[in-house]
Every structure is written in structure tokens, then in C-alpha cells.
Structure 1
Amino acid sequence: MCVIGKCKSIQILDLTRTAVTYEGITKALEHLPSLRKLKHRQTIRVLAQIYKRAVDEKLSDIPKFTLSSIQITNFRPKWNRDVGLADLGLAVHICPLITELYIHSTLSNITDNDLLGLLPLEKLEHFYISIRLNANFTFDGSLTPFLKATGNSLKELTINMVLEVDYIPTITRHCSNLRSLGLYFNHTRLCSVGQRNSFSRNRTKLERPILNYLEILNLVEPRSIGLIHPESLCLLLSSPSLKSISISSCGTLTDDVLQEAANLHSFNKLESFELSECNLVTIKILDLLMKATNPLEWIWLTWKQREPKGFKKILCRWKKQMAKNHWNVSLSADYYDDVSDVESEDEEITDSDEEISDVDSEEIYDSDSEDSPAEDSEESSSTDSNEELLIIDG
């Protein structure tokens, strides 16, 4: 491995799917002073071993590294011998500059205490965690104390895990500086009525601060079960900085919730709005969104239920209004259902010059929702154009 000359300016080194060993990883860490991201399955294990060796030898000067991003991914039990959250807890002691942390695991032996070992991460800005199919890892036992300690520095938070109740007030209370929030409630365990009632009583006592800087909101609820409280939805949607909203399969989102948020800021910075299978919301929300002062560029709406009477006519009139006002908005709205024995009614769409105010919004009614599984999210990352990048791929 080259560790001289211009190589010393390397900031991102990708060694995935290579034959590089423990020794090579150690050399990269020790001889690349500008290294910010080192992609290899053994990186965290090597860092943990370096720290343990320094402690065992009682070194007065424990080595520190410049890594700012760390990722741990466990999908197969055999990988457990390579890396774990316990190793990550040791590694963070010698990586004081970490601002990005990605944890993605389907293993069942990760516990609440494992995450608590990461509390030294005082400068964390981007945190992604996906822990699925694991009854030993809970929000109260792990993420609540973690967010209480590190949440104030977070700018981006993505959580993809099993949740029994709505923890959104906990997030807003501890993560006041968030710019981006992604919540993906997957494979929800059913808790008892007593547990939910107890949690509801406790949450009413909590402060509910608005996330004033939140610009991006992505929310997925499994099978529209109504886990998320309407108050929590309004709390998230009340951010005056929102530019992008994407909500899927939410069983408690309604026109009234959106109206309450619109009363605060009229969504006057919103550029993109997507709703999928939120069947208690109707086409009437266009009245809230379609304002001449709003910078909207994209509206995408889908419902999994039978199309209500008058829908196509109202949609057509909105598109005519957009053309008349020269609004550069891409608008898509569709209903679909799986009922094969019901024939859809064809509606005649006329070229009426009526203003939108003449539309009878009461023609739109709600239908019962159908269950649908939430789609998994995939993590995406971007590379700064000013960073030095080296990729070695076998």
C-alpha cells in the first residue's frame, strides 16, 4: 500500500471486497493523516484493537485518528466475529472527530447497552440506525439516552427499527437542530392497551418543541396501523423550514392535521410533497398547498382505495388553474384499489373555465384504508467534490 507522497492527502479510501488484511488497515490509519473515511469490514475491529492495546500497555499518549465517518453493517451471524457494537464503543475513544455514524444490522444479539457505549460521540451530526427483528434493542433503553446525550448536535437522523409506540416527542425534545429526519417504523410489535395508555399519559407531560430548522421529513408507518399520534404528525409538520415532505401508509394523517400545520406557516417554503396510501387525506389538501407564494415544484399523491366521485373533475380544474397562473408544478394524483368485482365509473371531464373556488370540495369523501407493507429505505451518501477519493475494488 502506498503511504508516501500525494497519497497522504487521501481522505476517502474504499477497500471493500479486497484482500487487504488487519496489517494493511493499520498502516492506512497510521500513515494517512488526512483520512476521513475508510471503508472495510475490519476497520472498526482494527480501531478497537489499537485502543485496547494502548490501554493494556498504559500508554500516556493514546493515538488519535482523523476519521469522521464510520459504518457498521451486520447481516449474517458469521460476521459477528468481525465487528460489533462493542468494538465500535472502543473505537470511538480514538476517533474524536466522528460526525457520521451508520449502523445497519439484522442480528438479534445487539442490546441496548451496546449503543450506550457510543455516548462519547459529542460531535455527531449524521446518524443512521437500522435495527430490525431484534426484541433486545428498544427505543427507551438505547435511543432515548443516546439522543439525550448527542441529539443537540445532530443535523440528520434516520431511524429504521421495530417500535411499539410513538416516540416522536422524544426526538423533537432532544434533537432541536435537525435538518433532515427519516422515520421508518418496520415490523411493529403489538403492545398491550395498558402499555399504550401509560405511554400516552406520560407523553402529555412532555414538552413538544417544534423543529424550527427541519427541512426534509420522510415518514413510513407499516400497514397504516395508526401508531403515530396526530399530535406528533402536527409537531413534525409545523416546522417553518420544511422543503420536502414524504409520508407513506400513515393511518392517522388527515386533512385536519395538515390544516393545523398550514395555519402556522402555510408551507411557504415547501418544494416537494409526496403522500402514498395515507387514505384519510383527500384531494382537498391541494387548497392548502397550491398558493402563488409557495415554491412548490412537485406534488405526488396516491391512495389505495376506490376513487371518489368528482376526483378527476377537481384535479382537471386544478391543472387548468396551474396553467392559467403559469405555475411550474408537476402534479400527479391517482387512486387505485384491488377490488376486482367493482367496475370503475367513467367520469366526463369538461373544459370548464370555472375558478377553483367554485369546486364543491364536499364531493370528495374518505374510504376505508387497506393494509399495505411499508417499503424499506436504502441509505444514500454523497461525496464532497473537494475530497480526495481512492477506491480499490477486487
Structure 2
Amino acid sequence: MHCLTRCVRTSVSANPNNSPELVENLFAILKIKTYKMPKVKTVISLSSQCINRIKSSLIIYYFPINSKLLKTWRGRPLSIQQRTDTEPDINPFQRIPTVLSEAIIQSLCIRKYLKAVKQYNITFLITTELQKLNAPSYHYDYKQFLNFFPKLERLQVLVLCYSNIGNAGLKLIGTWCKNLRILDVNSCSKLTDTGIEWLVLKPTELGKTLQELLVNCATVTKRGIKMALQNFPALQVVENDNIFDALLEEVVLSSSLAQPHILNTSFARLTILPAGEYRNGQLELVMQYCPLLFDIGIIVKEGLTDTDLLSLTKMKNLQILKFMLHPSSTGQEITFDKGLAPVLKVIGRSLKVLDISYFEFVDIWTVVRFCPNLISLTFDNQCPSLSALSENEIINRERNEKGRVILEDLKVLRCGFNLSNDILFDLLSCPLLEMVDISFCDALTDDLLQEVLAIGFLKNLNLLHLESCHLVTKQGLDALVLNDNLLERISLFFCRKITHQNVLDWHSIARQKNWKLRLDYENLDSKPISLIFA
């Protein structure tokens, strides 16, 4: 557009005899508004083409396969020959760069391949050079992998979640995978405390290297988690419903000793959920021994109080704070104004992610004032009477210009319900927004959307999710979809004025323009649809 402007101006100045009508028409061209539509489909990269080609070769081999014939594979899928004593063991997949092998295995975890995943034999791709093994998440016979673990000494990341790996598998991992940093065996139904005991059985380098143990399995109890805490001092993350109680018992035990043993104080992420009710002082006790936490998720239920939350003010490194509702919660155990607001006043500037959807009512201006560096914000209902701001701060904020940037770094916004037009306008005016999720909100209208876009915001939006927003129509969303943006996905659920035909129209435009765009839609009078053009 700037080049066109220069060309027009040069043409006019170089030809002083141009008629007034011609000059007027030339400059009229400059007033035509142009749009950079949603992303156009890109050419598949050479790397992706290689991965897809190799995956298609793997489909040829369907389980079960004769392992003796496998060793004599010569490159073409159907050219398996009888092995002779003079022929070396050759697996041509071992010649693939390790990074590419890891990418191929990772790609098989993508949802669209899960239905056909039994056709793939990833054992071809497991070599001694692997540093990351992310196996497909489905019930698979992992006994065939047991012979590989002694060869995987360089492995740093091992993901076997949702598999049928058993306790014997953990014993082999503990023995041979000496450099492991992350072990993910979440939702593995055959694992028990015995598996954890065997994992820590031999004092190996694993005790010094393992940083993340993801073992959220129903049959792994507090006993197993305590064994992990005692034997893996480098642990930063443990995913298990019993981690809070196990850590609490270790802290209490250490405090009672004449010479307290050294506890694991390097925890970075922790989900707080006691098996029973919260008891006074428990949260504070654990926080004292986990001073480096930067990610805390608190599942709220009976016993937790506003006073307990004050212990969070000591967490100077905290960047992620989430409050989640336990099924047994009344939703009234803790409050925004007396419990959370004093915490945000102390540590709010360090927070990057804040999820306060547990609280029925919050004051968004208190959040904005105390947490100016948020990247992600999730909340429900606004209630000005809960404000922790002074009267002068409230007056000054009300006098500020509409559309001011209130959270310069915000990229993810989830909100809705009783928001006013002014508050929603200010939130949608955050310049870096990439994902917006709005629910049950009558403040979202065509006029508001068009006003936000007219100022030049929402240009970085990738994902838009609307649910039960009944005042927005195709006209308002047209202004967004056809505007200057990076949209890749639009999800519209139970928005009364958006019709099935509207979605089909957008999909038709996406096909014509070759956009990379996914449309999800559901309404009371139609079945859910998902239209993908990518």
C-alpha cells in the first residue's frame, strides 16, 4: 500500500498537466481499504514431506512381524530376503538423523493417526541415539520395548502414558535409562507402588537427573510418591493426586527430627489437593519448604480459608497461579477481596498466568492494577464492589480514555458473563491477543467488535471461541473474519444469531481464498459440525 502511494504521488508530480478528475481518481484508489485475510495454506515443508513418506513406509509392516526377516530388510517394502551368515544386520531406519526419528515418533501421537496407529511399527525407529521417545498414547503391547531400554542410556525424555507398561518396565528404566530427565507414565493402569520401589531400587545416576515424574495412576499411592521424594532429590515436578499429602508428611517428619534431613526444595510446579479437608497451616508449611515454586494449582474444597492464602505472598518466583473447583466445593471457601486481592498486591507483578474462574465474582480493575504483566487471564463475573483500589485510583481509571491498553502483554483471554461494554472493549483492545474465549456475554455485539477493529486491534488473533453470546451476528463476525488478522480457528457454540448457513458461507470463502481455517459450530437446531480447510 505504501509503494502504491509513492507511485501515485510520483505520477502526479511528474505530470503537472494531469486533469483534476484523473488526480482525484488516483488518490481515491488510496482510500480503498485492503485486508490481509486469515493465513493462506502454505506449501508442505520438505521436513514434513520426509516424515509423511517414512510413515507411509512403516504402514507396510503390520503386527505381528517375523523379527528374523526384519533384520535382513533391504530398503523396498516387499524385498525382504532370507538372511545368510555373511550378511550384516541392517535396519535402514537407523540411518535417519536422530532428530527426524524423534519427530516421526512424535507425529504418530497426533490424534488423526490414532485410529490407524496399529499399522505402525515404531520399533524400527528406536535407536541408541534417541534422546526423546514419545510413544503413541494408546493401549499397546509395550513388552516388545523391554529389550530396548538397555540401549537407551542417552534417553532424556520418555513418554509412555496410557500404555500397559507394568512394574517390571519401571525396573528396567531405573536400571538403564541413567540420563532421564522426564518420565511420563500417567494413566498406566498396571503400575503400582511396587513399580516406584523398583524404579528407585538401584542407586544410579537417575537419582541425580530425574526432574519430572508424571505418574498419575490410580494404584500409585502416597507410599509410592514418598519413595520418589526420598530417592530423587532433583525432582521439580511430580504429578500425582497424593503429592501434597506426601510432601506434607515429609515436611512434618523433617521438622520433628533433631537433625532435620535435607528435603527436596527444588519443586517448580505443584498441584495442591489434600485427600481430606484442608487443615489450618498445612499450605503455609508446604510453601516454606518449596520456595522456588513458579507454578501453583490450588484445588479448592472445604477447610481452605482466606488466611491460608496469605502464605502465597512468600512465593516471590510465582508466575502461574490457578484456582480450581473441587466437586465437593461450595464455591465459598475463599473470597476475592479478603483472600486473593491481598496476595495479588504483594506478588501480582511476577504473575504471567492467572486463572481465577473459581471465584464467582472478582474485580477486574484490581487484577489489572496488581498484575500488569499477565500473558493469560481467566475469570468469570465482574463485581466493582470487591475492588481493592483506593477511591482516587478508581476515579482516575474512570477518567481514562476508552480503549486504553490495560494489559500490554496479554495473549490469552477467557471471560464473559456480566461484563460491561466498556470493560470488554478495554480487554479486547490488548494489542497482543492471540486467543479469546467469551461465554454467556451480552456485552459482545456487532458494534463493539467493529469499534475494536476500527482502532486496529485483534490483528494477532489466532483462535476465537464464543459460547452463548446471543447478540453477535454474522455481520459483526464478518468484520473480524475478513479483516486484517491471523485467524486459524473459530468455534461458535449456541450463539442464537449465528446460523449453520453462516458457517458454510465462511467455509466456502476459506476454500476459495485457500485460507488455513477451521470452523467449529453447534446450535440447538443443528448437529455439531467441524469444517477444516488446512
TM-score with structure 1 length normalisation?
Answer: 0.67
Aligned to 1:149: 346
Unaligned runs of at least 5 residues, structure 1: 222-226, 339-394
Report the 3-state secondary structure (helix = DSSP H, G, I; strand = E; otherwise coil) of the residue aligned with 2:276. helix
Equivalent-residue separation in structure 2 for 1:195 and 1:267 (angstroms): 30
Q: Would you say the 8 A contact 1:152–1:177 is kept in 2?
A: yes
1:43-192 map, 5 Å: 43-52=243-252, 63=263, 65-73=265-273, 79-80=276-277, 84=279, 86-107=281-302, 109-131=303-325, 132-164=329-361, 166-184=362-380
Inter-CA distance 19–62: structure 2 relative to 1 (3 Å threshold): closer
**2:153 alignment counterpart:** none
Separation in 1, partners of 2:324, 2:293: 19
Please tell me the residue identity of whatever aligns with 1:326.
N
503, 512, 518: which is aligned to 1:330? 518
Asked if the contact 2:366/2:388 (under 8 Å) is kept, the reply is: no
What is the CA–CA distance in structure 1 between the aligned matches of 2:476 and 2:434, rounded to whole Å? Answer: 17
- After superposition, give the CA deviation of every residue in 1:74-133 in whole Å (9 maximum; x if it has no partner): 5xxx712xx5573121111111211111111342x3221111122111111221102452
Task: Give the 3-state SS of the residue equivalent to 2:281 in structure 1.
Answer: helix
Q: CA–CA distance in 1 between the matches of 2:349 and 2:385? A: 29
CA distance in 2: counterparts of 1:135 and 1:168, whole angstroms: 19
Q: Which residue of structure 1 aligns with residue 204 of structure 2? A: 5
TM-aligned CA distance change 1:69 to 1:197, over 3 Å: closer
- Following TM superposition, by how much is the alpha carbon of 1:242 offset from its aligned partner in structure 2, in angstroms? 1.0
Residue of 234, 252, 256 corresponding to 1:34: 234
Structure 2 length-normalised TM: 0.51
Query: In the alignment, which residue of structure 2 is the partner of 1:205?
Result: 395
Q: Following the alignment from structure 1 to structure 2, what is the Cα–Cα distance between the partners of residues 315 and 39? A: 40
Q: How many Å separate the matches in 2 of 1:65 and 1:242?
A: 35
Point out the structure with the larger helix share: 2
Whether the 8 Å CA contact 1:44–1:87 is kept in 2: the answer is no
CA apart distance, 1:53: 5.6
TM-fit CA distance, 1:17: 3.2
Please state how far the C-alpha of 1:144 moved relative to its aligned partner. Answer: 0.8
RMSD of Structure 2 on Structure 1 (CA):
3.7
Residue identity in the other structure for 1:102: G
| DSSP-derived class of the 2:436 partner | strand
**Bigger relative contact order, structure 1 or 2, given CA contacts below 8 A and separation 6+?**
1
SS in 1 for 2:322: strand
CA offsets 1:282-333 (integer angstroms, 9 cap, x no match): 222223312463111122334454x58xx67766665554444333333456
Q: Secondary structure at the match of 2:339?
A: helix
Unmatched segments (≥5 aa) in structure 2: 1-196, 398-403, 527-534
1:231 is paired with a residue of what secondary structure?
helix
Q: 1:51 to 1:202 in 2, by over 3 A?
A: farther
Instruction: Figure out how many residues of one structure are paired with residues of the other and give that number.
Output: 316
CA contact (8 A) 1:16 1:39 kept: no
Corresponding residue SS for 1:117: helix
1:278 and 1:170 map into 2 onto residues whose CA distance is: 26
2: distance between equivalents of 1:203 and 1:337?
47
